[in-house]
A and B are shown apart, each in its own frame.
Chain A
């Protein structure tokens, strides 16, 4: 059966692993009400992709390096200015996006590169890319496993976390850089325009139907894996854009969870 062909299955398993850590991070992003960050970083990475195209380097790696610089800039601007994080992200992502468009305009292969970057293409993923994604996703997973409780407390109340002896400044920086790395890896599979959905849709759907933090994290991961495991084969079967089908699978799942929330979780007077 085509589904069990390793050539087809390996990208799906890679996508599911990455979706799982994106969704886990998404729970914290939703708590911190910074859902915009995923889109911002994804757009900002376009310059990194353009640099890769111009230099004939692997755009995945140039985008990673460039986006880490953007992540550091977000962290330092948030601490050194009185601007809110959404304003800082907009400032950086529009600037980066503008540079990226200009650079791609000079590359001579702008259309194909831009389309790949915007929508992702899981069929063009190389074994080396897959190994990179799986390795980094595993490291991110271990980081989240070890720091989840402290991250949650830091986001609920920074001062309480600090008094509890949690190194909040270092933890926050690590959190931002982890988001950047994971988002950029996701661009290869799902594209700049849609990768944010894998961070926000599963976490939002899980929030609707969970009473506990552990429940929210578990369901968010489960929903994200479901989006990929169902969405990618469907896209392949009907020859559709993989990122778009994965996101729409998530939107259907979210709508279903809205119904579950309405009937099972909303208190009746």
Chain B
């Protein structure tokens, strides 16, 4: 059973299984993420990383128990920020940065917060720019700004640096570390870059449809685990 203490874990998952038709996408996962952790989900393509985030968010049907801050995710939606994998955004459509940030109708704590968020993601002064004109990295930062507006306690990021260049990627991880340090946000993120993730994450979940490892980067990511995940050692990205 999920713990019911006064200060419950950010995310509690018990015997989680997700099936699409007869295909098992995730099998019997059990783990708990304490508040304030940065957790990286790693694994090969098709290993179920995105599906795990979607199950935590209640976006896909599942078997088992998922609790967010001690309750069903529907009760915690106001505390969650989510940045999807590929924002299926039609770049030709007219929409400004400022308009995009107002779409979810989040009631801001104060007027300054919106400016502070834009400054944090380095987009201040760009509210009148068209979203379609932003670079991949800028769009990614805008999506994070959107997720931060509701002042989430839990931030879920699905391959946040996909399509972003190396400088943008490092800038992004600096931002994540900053958010974690200054806002005490619990972060779950899907990533492919093991080297960067190992430096930034406090916990790692290795997935290959089932749980292959769970723990701190030092204890979890062993050569055996990497072989189990990615096959031959030369395919590993941990330097």
Residues of A within 8 A of B (CB): 30-31, 33, 149-150, 152-153, 156-157, 159-166, 207, 210-216
The answer to whether B104 touches A161, judged by C-beta atoms less than 8 angstroms apart, is: yes
Q: A156-B87, A162-B59, A165-B78 are in contact. Are A149 and B105 (CB under 8 A)?
A: yes
The answer to whether A31 touches B90, judged by C-beta atoms less than 8 angstroms apart, is: yes
Those of B88-127 within 8 Å (CB) of chain A: 88-90, 92-96, 99-100, 102-106
Closest to B85 in A: A159
B8 at the interface (CB under 8 A from A): no
Question: Besides A149-B105, A159-B59, A163-B82, 17 other CB < 8 A contacts?
Answer: A150-B104, A152-B103, A156-B87, A156-B95, A156-B100, A157-B88, A159-B84, A164-B106, A165-B78, A207-B92, A207-B94, A212-B96, A212-B99, A214-B99, A215-B94, A216-B93, A216-B94
How many residues belonging to B are interface residues under a CB distance threshold of 8 Å?
28
Docked Cα-Cα span, A152 to B93, in Å, equals 11
Closest to B96 in A: A212
Taking the closest CB of chain A, its distance from the CB of B129, in whole angstroms, is 9
> Across the interface, which residues of B come within 8 angstroms of A163, CB to CB?
57, 59, 77, 80-82
Docked Cα-Cα span, A149 to B96, in Å, equals 13
The answer to whether A213 touches B104, judged by C-beta atoms less than 8 angstroms apart, is: no
The answer to whether A156 touches B84, judged by C-beta atoms less than 8 angstroms apart, is: no
Q: Which label, helix, strand, loop or mixed, suits the secondary structure of the B interface?
A: loop
The answer to whether B105 touches A211, judged by C-beta atoms less than 8 angstroms apart, is: no
> Across the interface, which residues of A come within 8 angstroms of B78, CB to CB?
165
Residue from B92, B99, B146 within 8 A of A213 (CB atoms): B99
Closest to B92 in A: A207
Docked Cα-Cα span, A56 to B53, in Å, equals 56
Residues of B within 8 A of A (CB): 54, 57, 59, 77-78, 80-82, 84, 87-90, 92-96, 99-100, 102-106, 130, 146, 150
Docked Cα-Cα span, A157 to B104, in Å, equals 11
The answer to whether A153 touches B103, judged by C-beta atoms less than 8 angstroms apart, is: yes
Docked Cα-Cα span, A216 to B130, in Å, equals 13
> Across the interface, which residues of B come within 8 angstroms of A161, CB to CB?
104
The answer to whether A157 touches B94, judged by C-beta atoms less than 8 angstroms apart, is: no
The answer to whether A212 touches B93, judged by C-beta atoms less than 8 angstroms apart, is: no
The answer to whether B96 touches A213, judged by C-beta atoms less than 8 angstroms apart, is: yes
Closest to A219 in B: B94
Docked Cα-Cα span, A207 to B146, in Å, equals 24
Docked Cα-Cα span, A108 to B183, in Å, equals 74
The answer to whether B89 touches A156, judged by C-beta atoms less than 8 angstroms apart, is: yes
> Across the interface, which residues of A come within 8 angstroms of B81, CB to CB?
163
